[in-house]
Structure 1
Amino acid sequence: MLYYSGLTDRIGDVDQGDTVMDYLPAERDRGITITSAAITFHWRDHKINLIDTPGHADFTFEVIRSLRVLDGAVTILDGVAGVEAQTEKVWKQASEMEIPRIVYVNKMDRESAGFGRTVKEIVSKLNTQVAIINFPFFENGKVNSEGKFQGIVDVIEKKIIKWSEGSDGKNIQVLDITEYNEVALECEKARTALIETLTELDDNLVEHYLEIGSYMDVSPNEIKKALRKACLNKKIVPVLCGASFKNIGVQPLLEAVIDYLPSPIERPPPKAITLNQNKNAKKTATPYETQITIDPSNKNLTSALAFKVVHDNKKGMMVYVRVYSGTLHHNSIVLNSTTGKRERIMKLYQMHANLPIETTSIEAGNIGVIVGTKEIRTGDTIVAHGLKRDGVKSLSKAESHLQLHPIKIPPPVFFSSIDPLTLADTKNMEEALVVLLTEDPSLHVMYDEDSGQTMLSGMGELHLEIAKDRLVKDLKAKVEVGKIMVSYKETIIDSTKTCTQLATLSTQTDETGPSTATVSLLVEPADSDISLGAEIISRDNIYVSYPEHLPENFLIPSKDILRSVNRGIVPGIAKGGLKSHLPLHSLHVKVSNISIPPDITNPSAISLATRLAIEEALQSIKVESYCILEPIMDVKVMVAEEDVGTVVNDLSSNRRGSIISLKDSEDFFQENTNDINYRDLANSIYTPPDFTMYMSKHGDRARSSQSIIKAQVPLEQMIGYLNYLRSLTKGRGTFTMDFHSYQKAPTTVDFNR
């Protein structure tokens, strides 16, 4: 894409390690994408902001935060492997964010590539309607030829586009489809199926067809108009094909991005929250917030979301932002409405992967980088008056509290110890960890006071391995990283016997003399009966419910009282439970009473009283009433039919797994969908014949008889599972896993290892 748009003068190669977007040494060494990279280029008088995201499950947060700021997505599938297990997971994430998509079926030059088979899998597994806008063309112009893949048949324009073998992809021939009878016949079938599908979704195309009376004579512009409308409404997914390694099919994909994916103004207005200005609102946390939408055309309000932070040795922290309204200017002052702090933007850049290109402004709909700020982090909202250099003073109260919906951070499940090589290396290690966690919030650091060890937790084995490489090789931290372990938690059980004592403690400030703040609370297990009024304040399922009537203190607002209570609870539970001092999980803190004398003006007194109260409550619980929790994962294993018995036996007998279901891969994705039976739809839709399948009978057999095993397995049993699965299935098995819940661990589990 970058080469054909004129942005680069060469085509990168993953195998050679000289790609533009995969620029990290670890990415080039491993041949995979680890971190998302942004770049801006032009095609057909349009500006395209491209973000290249990873495909590995361990780096799912990179995908989540990229999808959060995108308007459209291109899903690249392997023409041999088809729709793989991880594809379904990322597709679901894009569906939740309502992002229009197109699909590019790559590697059509490979043995056993099946375009038609992959299209049917898109329908049956990803639960969507498709529109085939081009299909493979082989040498000699024979649909059933055993020749090489040479180009594509453009269904809409009724043309053949052929690329010269061994070229850089710029040498293109456009052939008349009537010269090849078999191809013309197949194109007519594809065009008929395409128009019939679109007429079910667009009345204007129906009227146009009735005027013309022939599928082959329907105007390409009318087809594109109807297809664009259906794609933007998420009713259909255009499908293209190509062979990127042979430089075939990339230009039509770029055309499809322009023709079918939305511009920023065609997307629904972004949602945000701001303070409720209703003076009669109740004195609780939530009534102060109200949902609003941001008008992208509002030039008087600049709003942007920080979705990624990268540390540069020369430029410092580089904050990637998506601007939703107004314009960001260099050397201007903005407000981080998440923290309430003013920030000065020293410089602005557009990114060319890892090469920043300086610019004076970033307008609405674009992605850029801010340099010079100190405390902007991933998920923070930036606001300013759109027309002024000091855009903070002119903001209204509602605008200064405006916050775009934050980016969800999945909880880490693996961890390993990390220690400085010498005592003198401690400061360097701590500074490097701050940078690492700022860049990747899905990593988490915890300090164990009893052992004196620092624990680094992440999304998976490869995630932690890459984090270690980043610490040692890039950030030059002199550390020793321990082996990967599972993140166990601790909770309490049987609250009727263990938590009957209320903890009531007082604290006094130096300024107020004998005046004291008093907090009474009860700690109990968090279960399904938690009232809707309880507020979750931690990723470890720590819930808080407050007394019905809050104390009246004219110097401390009600929202600050509640915020101070939460600030006291978090450090109060940080020491963990009495049994093993593991992090506490699934607790419900019932605050029954808060007493604040009128002369107390510092809300920190409330935080201190809360922390002391919860520490006493936890100490009063008997040690035997604590239990260890282990993370349980939802595991989906995709294997050939003949390997099902071996894998099921291993999961249930050797790994303490519970088998939830065992289905044919075509049936698996029919759960929890609407009334459309996508498997029946996949069997009935038109797809071109897959004559490339003759090349590999083994590949055809393996791909046509796959099953999916769904199980719930303790995470501790899944460490190193990929290599073991491959040995069981002769390299053909794959799996994905997502966090399900924490459950009570058997007493035989060694949570210290």
Structure 2
Amino acid sequence: MYSRHPFKGLNLGILAHVDAGKTTLTERLLHAAGVIDQPGSVDDGSTQTDSLALERARGITIKSAVVSFALDDLTVNLIDTPGHPDFIAEVERVLSVLDGVVLVVSAVEGVQAQTRVLMRTLKRLRIPTLIFVNKIDRGGASYDGTLRGIAERLSPAIVPMGTAAALGTRDARFTAYGPGQAEFTDRLVEVLADRDDALLASYVNAAAGVPYDRLRRALAEQTERALVHPVYFGSAATGDGVPELTAGIRELLPAATGDPEGPPAGEVFKVERGPAGEKIAYVRMRAGTLRTREVVRFGRARNGVRQEAKVTAISVFDQGATEPGRSVSAGRIAKVHGLPGIRIGDTVGDATGPADAGGHFAPPTLETVVVPADPSDKVALHAALTLLAEGDPLINLRQDDLRQEISVSLYGEVQKEVIQATLADDFGLDVGFRETTTINIERLAGSGSAVEFKEDDDTSQFMATVGLRVDPAPPGSGVDFRLEVELGSMPYAFFKAVEETVRETLAQGLHGWEVPDVTVTMTHSGYFPRQSHAHATFDKAMSSTAGDFRNLTPLVLMAALREAGTVVHEPLHRFHLEVPADTLGAVLSALSRHRAVPLTTTDRGGAYELEGDIPAAQVHALEQQLPGLTRGEGMLDAAFDHYAPVTGAPPTRARTGLNPLDRKEYRLRVVRRGLSQV
């Protein structure tokens, strides 16, 4: 082993497509480290990290879990994440706190849709990643085929770290390469020199070749920079190949960094409730040291001020358990108590967050209305769903007060089943769901502008002038708010009121869908300074408030959107489908009925492999039909890829709250709401 690190910590993620064996690998790593006497079984519901009753019953990971173990002088905080695509939000929240990842691939199924989604994100975020090819003991396992699939679909910059023999049998074994094996050193030089000019020059000029120690150091350096990805083979079930993987984790992945003496700064990636209902935050410390009884700032600033609270308790992870601690320092993960308003994604201490926080995966593309079996449970249902949203903000509760309905966003049907079971088991609520529908978005067709002035003799109830221009922005760029007026032309709080209201209003465009990518420029501004009648106190009728700008902005923004026009786009998934050759005709007909478009069709000898696009709304129906079309032999993977314009009449979404598209009704309701608050 070529050790590079002194005593430090490593926050390690285990990621995979569902059923690739990542939880079994987690158990094997814990067993090898001496944390548990015997590896638990997913089938038996005896694993360390799948602690929820629902996880044990279904045999899948639903919530991320942290468990700690030691590798010599390195303390590893291992985070087991869900593999099912319906729970990608859990992976989303974990990515920003990881120092390295083991991506698990099945030697039988090979690279699957979720594997590709995960690897694309890991490469974009430059998270150091080792690949572990699991299940070499299963029938159908392939060494060369899996390596070829990894190189073609994940990354060509891979380095196999050994050979596998007797695949498909209980005697399957992995043998690591050593310094004397030319096949390995040649591959190392080929991959590493392509990304290191100095190494390439040494290879060309050195008659005896590049020393093996230097190649291993270069491998560690380039792995740490996420330029190359070492590949290990093995079986988590039998334990073969796991010692070699463990050595790779110790040697090749970078330890956590951060100055424990600086100001405390941490990031919250998970929130759960304790026995008494108190919030418990999982915090990754990036700098400094957080101590019990310390008053700490946390959360997002509101009106320029962040929340403050005293840390009442800290629990640190140690050898498979959590132990009470007095402090947690940079690089570590701990459970922190005493921060009542804490939310996922919040910073603790220093407000500086990670460089690339959130937005790593596509948001949910489906939604449904949750319906209580007993109508009198509506209030309790809202409270329960609010608590669930604390742990999973992407379920995105939408309350329709007019129809008395609550909608939640989903990644898939399995997530809906889990929500239903959780409400029943944890809250005693029996619920059903309306039909699952697609969450579309709206994109601008062009540019548009609008302005409303407040003059002295105007009878409008809004004491404000607002002008806005909207312009299309590239997909994925988000909402960008800009000013074409002087920042000093009116109080800063009024500009903030306009910006915040713009972002809130864009959640429901002309057709009721979110407008996610747009540049909004404030072109006009005006206000009435604080004033009063002679010898009287402040008179709202004569002075502008932030509420004037919050109430007027939706009307101006919708007028600008109307001038620009919007086009409804639906989410499309990229599908990968393998079917027996004699079923291809029936499968192609089904794809056509579901508006799927095959982009490539490859003959694999007795089977066909298809890849293409399919509307997100059609994926579940195709999954249900596929077994009957292919005698149960078809395999389908699908994951969100992009949005495309809807053909035909644009679908609409019922609006919630005030409707600025109906100016008369909007103004009346604003007046009524204002009176009710007096």
Common fold: TM-score over 0.5: yes
Conserved? CA contact 2:446–2:472, under 8 Å: no
Moved more, 323-332 or 336-345: 336-345
Q: Are 2:87 and 1:59 aligned?
A: yes
Aligned pair 1:737/2:639, yes or no? Answer: yes
Are the aligned partners of 1:331 and 1:344 in contact in 2 as well (CA < 8 Å)? Answer: yes
Say if 2:570 is the partner of 1:631: yes
Matched with 2:223 is: 231
Q: Does 1:38 align with 2:66?
A: yes
What CA distance in whole angstroms lies between the structure 1 residues aligned with 2:455 and 2:37? 70
1:579-628 Cα shifts (integer Å, max 9, x gaps): x7666777776644221223279999234334235347759999x99888
Kindly provide the CA deviation profile for residues 311-333 of structure 1, in whole angstroms up to 9, marking residues without a partner as x: 23346222111111111212212
What corresponds to 1:262 in structure 2?
254
2:517 and 2:182 map into 1 onto residues whose CA distance is: 60
SS of 2:497's equivalent in the other structure is: helix
Take 1:563 and 1:260, find their aligned partners in 2: how far apart are those partners? 47
Structure 1 letter corresponding to 2:256: P
Q: How does 1:326-725 map to 2 (within 5 A)?
A: 326-336=288-298, 338-339=300-301, 340-351=306-317, 356-383=322-349, 405-408=356-359, 410-422=362-374, 424-488=376-440, 502-504=451-453, 517-521=463-467, 527=472, 536-537=478-479, 544-550=481-487, 552-553=489-490, 556=491, 558=492, 560-569=493-502, 577=510, 591-599=522-530, 605-615=545-555, 618=558, 629=568, 631-640=570-579, 642=581, 645-651=585-591, 653-659=592-598, 661-662=599-600, 664=602, 707-711=609-613, 713-725=614-626
Residues 104-123 of structure 1 mapped to structure 2, 5 A cutoff: 104-123=132-151
Give the aligned partner of residue 271 of structure 2.
Answer: 309
| C-alpha distance 17-406 of structure 1, shift in aligned 2 (>3 A) | same
3-state DSSP of counterpart to 2:590: helix
Contact 1:637-1:710 within 8 A present in 2 as well: yes
| One-letter code aligned to 1:407 | G
The amino acid of 2:313's aligned partner reads K
Q: Give deviations 1:296-350, integer Å, cap 9, x for gaps.
A: 2362222111112122334622211111111121221211162311122111123
Q: Contact 2:384–2:423 at 8 Å: present in 1 too?
A: yes
Taking the aligned partners of 1:136 and 1:576, their CA distance within structure 2 comes to: 55
RMSD over aligned CA atoms reads 4.1
Q: After superposition, what is the alpha-carbon deviation per residue over 1:483-529, rounded to whole angstroms, capped at 9, x for unaligned?
A: 32223567897988xx8x74446999xxxxx99731233576x5359
CA positional deviation for 1:550:
4.3
Structure 2 residue matching 1:407: 3-state secondary structure: coil
Name which structure has the greater RCO, CA cutoff 8 Å, separation 6+: 1
Report SS of the residue matched to 2:223: helix
Query: Contact 1:414 / 1:484 at 8 angstroms: preserved in 2?
Result: yes
Does the 8 Å CA contact 1:517/1:594 hold for their aligned counterparts?
no
Contact 1:205 1:223 in 2 (8 A): no
Q: Does 1:16 align with 2:44?
A: yes
- The 1:644/1:502 distance shift into structure 2, 3 A limit, reads farther
Instruction: Report the secondary structure of 1:470's partner residue.
Output: helix
Q: 2:232 aligns with which of 234, 240, 254?
A: 240
**Which stretch shifts more, 448-457 or 632-641?**
632-641
Q: 1:149 aligns with which of 148, 153, 171?
A: 171
- Classify the secondary structure of the residue corresponding to 1:338: strand
| 2:671 aligned residue | none
CA distance in 2, matches of 1:349, 1:209: 54
Structure 1: distance between partners of 2:438 and 2:97: 32
- For the residue of structure 1 that corresponds to 2:116, the secondary structure is helix
Contact 2:117–2:639 under 8 Å retained in 1: no
CA distance 1:353–1:63, shift in 2 (3 Å): farther
Aligned-partner Cα distance in 2 for 1:605–1:151 = 73
Does the 8 A contact of 2:468 with 2:560 survive in 1?
A: no
Query: How far has the Cα of 1:52 moved from its partner?
Result: 1.0
Q: What is the identity percentage for the equivalent residue pairs of Structure 1 and Structure 2? A: 22
Query: Which secondary structure does the structure 2 equivalent of 1:156 belong to?
Result: coil
Per the alignment, in what secondary structure is the counterpart of residue 250 of structure 2? helix
TM-superposed CA distance for 1:234, in Å, is: 2.6
Displacement after TM superposition at 1:223 (Å): 4.7
- Return the offset for 1:743: 3.0
2:574 maps to a residue whose letter is V
Distance of aligned partners of 1:413 and 1:195 in 2 relative to their CA distance in 1, 3 Å threshold: closer
* Residues 405, 194 of structure 1: alpha-carbon distance in 2 compared, 3 angstrom cutoff: closer
| Distance of 1:589 and 1:104 partners within structure 2 | 46
1:249 maps to 2:249: no
Partner of 1:321: 283
Once residues 619 and 205 of structure 1 are traced to their aligned partners in structure 2, the CA distance between those partners, rounded to angstroms, is 61
| 8 Å CA contact retained: 1:567, 1:607 | no
Instruction: Using structure 2 for the length normalisation, give the TM-score.
Output: 0.78
Q: 1:572 to 1:724 in 2, by over 3 A?
A: same
Taking a change above 3 Å as real, the CA distance of residues 522 and 300 of structure 1, as seen in their structure-2 partners, is: closer
1:605 corresponds to which letter in structure 2?
A: T
| Equivalenced residues, count | 607
After superposition, give the CA deviation of every residue in 1:652-681 in whole Å (9 maximum; x if it has no partner).
Answer: x3123445x21549xxxxxxxxxxxxxxxx
Three-state SS of the structure 2 residue aligned to 1:102 is strand
Structure 1-normalised TM-score? 0.71
Q: Aligned in 2, Cα 1:19/1:741: closer, same or farther, shift over 3 Å? A: same
1:99 partner amino acid: I
Q: Assess if the C-alpha contact under 8 Å between 2:578 and 2:610 holds in 1.
A: yes
